[in-house]
Amino acid sequence: MNSNPHSKTVLITGGAGFIGSNFVLDWIAQTGGSVVNLDKLTYAGNLGNLESLKGDTRHVFIQGDIGDGELVRRLLAEHRPGAIVNFAAESHVDRSIHGPADFVQTNVMGTFSLLDEACRYWQGLNPSERERFRFLHVSTDEVYGSLGPNDPAFSETTAYAPNSPYAASKAASDHLVRAYHHTYGLPVITTNCSNNYGPYQFPEKLIPLVILNALDGKPLPIYGDGLNVRDWLYVRDHCEAIRLVLAKGRPGETYNIGGRSQRANIDVVRSICHLLNELRPRLGGDHASLIGFVKDRPGHDRRYAIDCGKIERDLGWKVRTDFDTGLRETVAWYLANPDWVENVRSGNYQRWVDLNYNLRGRQ
């Protein structure tokens, strides 16, 4: 984009979810730019994440589906964004195992519809606007499959090998994004990130689930032997990387974004327990005594790791937040925001926990 990439409005899809809402908050805080925020408000979308923007004219929220071509067309015509950043996705592996159809609908068909409208809009821009426009698609490292303990980390040239319905649906969306660039010339960029953590994360994911279960004195369920390894990326570092890619990334390119913080799941859980022992001691003793192992997830990938050398070399991005610091900040945020926690822990959420963890039984 041009020397002032943040001078125009951006359309953010999925901007009430975990990563999307953090990006919206950081975008407005860091650039002062305006955001049109399109979110379907499914179970993981939460306007409470954006409460601090209430009344801020730089943030326009619209509840709707990226698959609604007529709505997207109207928003593009009305707001004339200089970029689209697509966070909208069904994003939980376990939910994709229980109900894959929603993932195909949103991640594949929804992305296709959004691309189609974006391409039509882009083709109608004047030459200088066409030159500056970007479509940034936010994806995941899970499209690359699973690594062995000594395999090199995923790079941008790693072959796709998705192993879950979620990963397969994201792989399909990545391929559609690539195709729209090579076929129609749409200036797209794809980012593939590792596991995010931080404020506003819906509590079915590992870190918030463990924090909140521990506070309630409930079991801390760990899949299998707990030795599955993930690369952990603090969400605000991720948001900074996306802003940089949007400003300086080359159309048609993919950039992997990782945290350089590989940890086994069991070690992450023990670290959370250690922090809670310090910050919120438990009358019954060590929070780690709540740890229990449950039947493993079907097709559970053993290890993910991201080689983020390309974005470091080409764009000058660096991880700012080490895992220990980010985890402490995350635990402190959940402790400081009990009202937010209560608002998201609905009956539907509890039924999901029962289905996915409690009914598996302990090993």
Residues serving a catalytic function are 141-142, 166
Mapped onto helix, strand or coil, the DSSP state of residue 190 is: strand
How far is Cα 124 from Cα 198, in angstroms, rounded to an integer?
39
How far is Cα 38 from Cα 45, in angstroms, rounded to an integer?
11
For 69, 140, 197, the CA distances from 346, given in Å and listed in that order, are 31, 27, 21
Measured CA angle at 191 (ends 228, 69), to 5 deg: 115
Partners of 277 in the β-ladder: none
How far is Cα 277 from Cα 291, in angstroms, rounded to an integer?
14
How far is Cα 84 from Cα 36, in angstroms, rounded to an integer?
9
- Sequence-distant (6+) residues with CB within 8 A of 67 are 105, 106, 109, 110, 113, 114
Q: How is residue 47 written in tokens?
A: 């306007």
